Amino acid sequence: MAKNFISNSETSTRMFKYGWMEALSKVHFSVPLIIYIPVIGFLCFKAISNGIAALAFSGYFIAGFLVWTITEYLLHRYIFHYVPTSKIGLRLHFIFHGVHHDYPKDKLRLVMPPSASIPLALLFYFLFSIVLHGAALYSFFAAFLLGYLTYDMMHYAMHHYTFKSGLMKRIKKHHMLHHYQDASKGYGVSSALWDKVFHSGFSGKEISEQPGTQNEHA
């Protein structure tokens, strides 16, 4: 089902009365890179300095990245696309994700602002620390953050760049169909893996028949 309102503007509506709150809701796409690349490097250093074996490091790292992919899918499907009925709930839904669907080209509301991503990162670190410790936790969480960073950068690129790679074109079309054709499908952004597992994606025919993306035609 196509969405009733989608703006092509590169700026979105004001969301907050107070300027400082409005500022915290916007961020340049480079900010997550500046924040999280040093953190990922530090976590890898901590894991290695704790004497973790290369095979164990690789295993925890791969596991962390895979866990990010399912986390991305579940957050997008069940949290960001949960539409409450209360007035306050609808307001929160718009702030967290609705504004992105109304203004998908807003360059400053495409990557998650640190005011949201840092508390979420700390929450996930605490949850993972319940079952993992020391070098295992550092290895796992470094990859989890790398997965998040990959998602953020790919998401930004999908809305603002024209890809040459056939694979990236297909991934981008999958996401554009989510925005411009049916928001109840295609919840994977950096990968369609879990959409295939849970049968919530677009068919190969739907993707191949799409002549281009909204970005390329704008």
pLDDT (tens digit, 9 = 90+) per residue, 29-64? 899 999 999 999 999 999 999 999 999 999 999 999
Q: Does residue 3 register a pLDDT over 80?
A: no
Which pLDDT score is estimated for 205?
62
CA–CA dist 39, 32 (Å, integer): 11
Does 204 fall in a domain?
Answer: no
For position 25, what pLDDT does the model report?
79
Residue 179 lies in a domain: no
Please give the Cα distance from 173 to 183 (Å, whole number). Answer: 13
Distances (CA, A) of 117 to 124, 160, 181: 10, 22, 28
96 domain residue, yes or no: yes
Does residue 88 sit within a domain? yes
Q: Which of 20-29, 52-61, 87-96, 186-195 has the highest mean pLDDT?
A: 52-61
Whether 110 is covered by a domain: the verdict is yes
Residue 113 banded pLDDT, cuts 50, 70, 90: confident
pLDDT of residue 180: 86
pLDDT of residue 218: 37
Q: Look at residue 102 and tell me if it is in a domain.
A: yes
What is the count of structural domains for the chain? 1
Q: Which two tokens stand for residue 84?
A: 């409450």
SS3 23: helix
pTM exceeds 0.85: yes
The domain in which residue 102 lies consists of: 29-163
- Written as one string, the DSSP assignment of 76-90 is IIIIIT---SSHHHH
Determine, yes or no, domain membership for 63. yes
What integer is the mean pLDDT of 135-144? Answer: 98
pLDDT per position as a tens digit, 129-138: 999 999 999 9
Higher per-residue pLDDT: 64 or 95: 64
Other CB atoms within a 10 A radius of the CB of residue 154 amount to 17
Q: Is the pLDDT of residue 158 over 80?
A: yes
* 8 A C-beta contact, residue 134 and residue 114: no
**Amino acid identity for residue 45 in this structure:** F
